[in-house]
Amino acid sequence: MKLITIGHKMPAWIAEGFTDYQKRLSKPWSLELIELPGKTKVQEGRLILEKLPAQAFCVALDVKGQTLSTEALAQKLELWQLDMESKEICFVIGGADGLDETVLKRANFIWSLSALTFPHQLVKVILAEQLYRGVSVLNKHPYHRS
């Protein structure tokens, strides 16, 4: 999996939190981070689309997207992995102004972590943790308890 995100200077506490969950994820669920510089929303969209592999399954994070329970996320991850076989699942986080419409149109799935507004840097940690939690459900690991 890849996380393509705008913003390349994470505060130390964000980097530490993200790295902690990134290390917990192992193949086939490892998570590569690709950080891109913030510019205008349109420029950010172009940069994201340039880094997004053509055949990748794209999950765009947007407040207007579909919300998922942890169990539903685990089911989606399992389906996406089966559907994609050797291709990549890419998660995309925009800058402070969100994702450009071109990225949202390219997305195969638009996911909202919450109706709340989070700093986009913090979303990296929340996403990594939720991916780890979803994978834990799939692996029947006790990290996730209902």
Domain 2-138 has CATH 3.10.450.50: no
- 113 to 18, 86, 101: CA distances (angstroms): 16, 26, 19
Q: How confident is the model at residue 146 (pLDDT cuts 50, 70, 90)?
A: very low
pLDDT tens by residue, 11-59: 899 999 999 999 999 888 899 999 999 889 999 999 999 999 999 999 9
Among candidate residues 27, 19, 43, the one with its CA nearest the CA of residue 94 = 43
pLDDT of residue 144: 56
**83-100 confidence digits (pLDDT tens):** 766 589 999 999 989 999
Q: What's the whole-model pTM score?
A: 0.92
Q: With 0-12 CB in 10 A as exposed, 13-18 as middle and 19+ as buried, what is 91? A: buried
Contact call for residues 87 and 58 (beta carbons, < 8 A): no
Lowest model confidence (mean pLDDT) among 34-38, 65-69, 72-76, 84-88:
84-88
Contacts of 130 (CB under 8 A, 6+ apart): 70, 73, 113
144 vs 44, residue with greater confidence: 44
pLDDT interval class at 69 (50, 70, 90): very high
- Bridge-partner residues for 58, per DSSP? 90
Which whole number is the average pLDDT over 99-124? 94
Check: CB of residue 94 under 8 Å from CB of residue 36: no
**Is it the case that residue 1 has pLDDT exceeding 90?**
yes
